[in-house]
């Protein structure tokens, strides 16, 4: 399979850097363009970027000239880690020009014709791209905390029916981008407010778990109440859940359903897919961000402390890596799924009405 040229929008930021890191040596994609604000444009990436990752900048990217968001791009797929203050108009502009924009930004997530996808859960929602008015298309992944919540409740909803969820998040400072939260605000402290987060967590899962009906998503009927906190943890979002189910399964049945969950990425053996998308731990003091956020290469949802709840029925603690599965890794997995499902043919976005055919990928790439 010939690699598809891709660009990273917002390439110098926290999520943009994670895109660069996760795309190194990728079997499907090759980073050909890096895009950032005007103040970074024109400089080599290695000079424009204050690199904060654990390994050096990949050599194939280090010397690339940073392009501004005003420039035309040649890459077929654009991974967007842009800040929401600019992402909406920039992503629309590039989609109108014919690019497939796969975005981690929040601006278009709730647009009726824009897919909001976790490919283990709702890959059929990719079909919404054919109802968009762009020459290209926009696809989004959810908010970082939403992803782990949706991964945990989806198998429960399918097996037993979820009526209500009460969730409290303990979100890492890396979720605020670099430099994050001022040290005098976060060290030894908990900040019980993250702007816009609670609304995202309460609404996005309803679209994700909704049913595709023609060109419309019918939201699932479920009540979600969220409270969000910023905590002095570098990476890894922890969430505590209480869940009300329609039926009354045993904890053994609930665990069996959670551990047995998998989806299309696992079936296809996609490069970024975790072998087990949900891991259930037995230790009474797990999961912990410092010990468990990198399980399955940072792409798993880790669940622990599964027990009865005297108010809603069951409760648990969940954890995920917020800048990998909660951001860049989620977008890359969406792109891999679209390629393997045939939404891209020879790297080009298929027009509405054209039949999709899966693109074979060499066995060594799986």
CA 148 to chain centre: 9
Q: How far is CA 246 from CA 121, 144, 310, in A?
A: 20, 27, 15
Residue with tokens 């702007």: 195
Please report, for residues 129, 132, 273, the alpha-carbon distance to residue 253 in angstroms, rounded to integers and kept in the order given: 37, 41, 25
Answer yes or no: 49 catalytic. Answer: no
Options 125, 237, 321, 349, the catalytic residue: 237
Query: Could you tell me which residues come within 8 angstroms of residue 289 by beta carbon, excluding any fewer than 6 positions away?
Result: 172, 233, 234, 235, 236, 237, 238, 319
Question: Is 26 an active-site residue?
Answer: no
CA distance 307 to 314: 6
Domain ranges of the chain: 4-141+326-365, 144-321
Contacts of 164 (CB under 8 A, 6+ apart): 222, 223, 224, 225, 243, 244, 312
Contact yes or no for 82/7 (Cβ under 8 A): no
pLDDT at residue number 350: 53
Measure the CA dihedral 117/113/108/211, to 10°: -40
Interatomic CA distance for residues 326 and 143, integer angstroms = 7
Q: Which residues contact 22 (CB under 8 A, 6 or more apart)?
A: 272, 324, 328, 329, 332
Q: Which of 144, 157, 228, 321 is catalytic?
A: 144
Question: Domain 144-321 - what CATH class?
Answer: alpha beta
- Name every residue whose Cβ is closer than 8 Å to that of residue 363 and which is 6 or more positions away in sequence: none
Q: Please enumerate in sequence order all residues whose Cβ is within 8 A of that of 310, keeping only pairs 6 or more positions apart, or say none.
A: none
User: Residue 148 in contact with residue 237, Cβ under 8 Å?
Assistant: yes
The pLDDT value given to residue 34: 98
Calpha distance 64→246 (Å, rounded): 54
Map residue 292 onto helix, strand or coil: helix
**4-141+326-365 belongs to which homologous superfamily?**
NAD(P)-binding Rossmann-like Domain (3.40.50.720)
Instruction: Please report, in angstroms and rounded to a whole number, the separation of the first and last CA atoms in the chain.
Output: 12
Q: Which token pair is 40?
A: 């970074």
Q: What is the mean pLDDT of each run of 10 residues along the chain (366 residues)?
A: 93 96 97 94 95 94 96 97 95 97 97 97 96 95 98 98 98 92 96 97 98 95 98 97 97 98 97 98 97 98 98 98 97 97 66 45 37
Instruction: Give the C-alpha separation, 211 to 219, whole Å.
Output: 7
Q: Cα dist. 230→43, 73, 169, 182, 318 in Å?
A: 34, 36, 8, 12, 16
């Amino acid at each position: 399979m010939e690699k598809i040229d891709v660009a990273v929008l917002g390439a110098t930021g926290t999520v943009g850097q994670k895109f660069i890191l996760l795309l190194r040596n990728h079997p499907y994609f090759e980073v050909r363009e890096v895009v950032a604000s005007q103040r970074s444009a024109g400089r080599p990436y290695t000079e424009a970027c204050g690199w904060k990752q654990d390994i050096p900048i990949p050599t194939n990217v280090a010397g690339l000239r940073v392009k501004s968001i005003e420039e035309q791009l040649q890459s077929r797929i654009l991974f967007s880690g842009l800040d929401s203050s600019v992402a909406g108009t920039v992503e629309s502009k590039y989609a109108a020009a014919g690019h497939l924009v796969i975005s981690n930004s929040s601006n278009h997530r709730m647009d009726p014709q824009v897919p909001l996808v976790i490919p283990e859960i709702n890959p059929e929602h990719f079909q919404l791209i054919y109802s968009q008015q762009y020459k290209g298309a926009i696809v989004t992944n959810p908010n970082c905390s939403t992803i782990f919540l949706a991964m945990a409740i989806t198998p429960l909803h399918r097996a037993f029916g979820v009526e209500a969820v009460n969730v409290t998040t303990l979100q890492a400072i890396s979720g605020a981008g670099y430099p994050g939260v001022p040290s005098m605000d976060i060290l030894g402290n908990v900040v019980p407010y993250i702007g816009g987060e609670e609304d995202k967590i309460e609404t996005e899962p309803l679209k994700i778990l909704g049913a595709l009906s023609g060109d419309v998503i019918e939201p699932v009927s479920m009540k979600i109440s969220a409270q969000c906190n910023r905590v002095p943890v570098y990476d890894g979002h922890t969430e505590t859940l209480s869940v009300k189910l329609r039926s009354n399964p045993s904890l053994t049945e609930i665990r069996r359903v959670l551990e047995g969950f998998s989806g299309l990425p696992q079936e296809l053996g996609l490069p970024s897919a975790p072998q087990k998308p949900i891991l259930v731990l037995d230790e009474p003091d797990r999961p912990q961000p410092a010990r468990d956020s990198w399980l399955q290469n940072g792409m798993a949802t880790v669940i622990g402390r599964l027990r009865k709840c005297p108010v809603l029925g069951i409760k648990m603690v969940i954890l995920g890596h917020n800048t990998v599965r909660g951001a860049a890794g989620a977008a890359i997995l969406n792109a891999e799924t679209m390629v393997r499902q045939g939404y891209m043919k020879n790297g080009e976005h298929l027009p509405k009405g054209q039949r999709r055919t899966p693109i074979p990928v060499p066995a060594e790439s799986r």
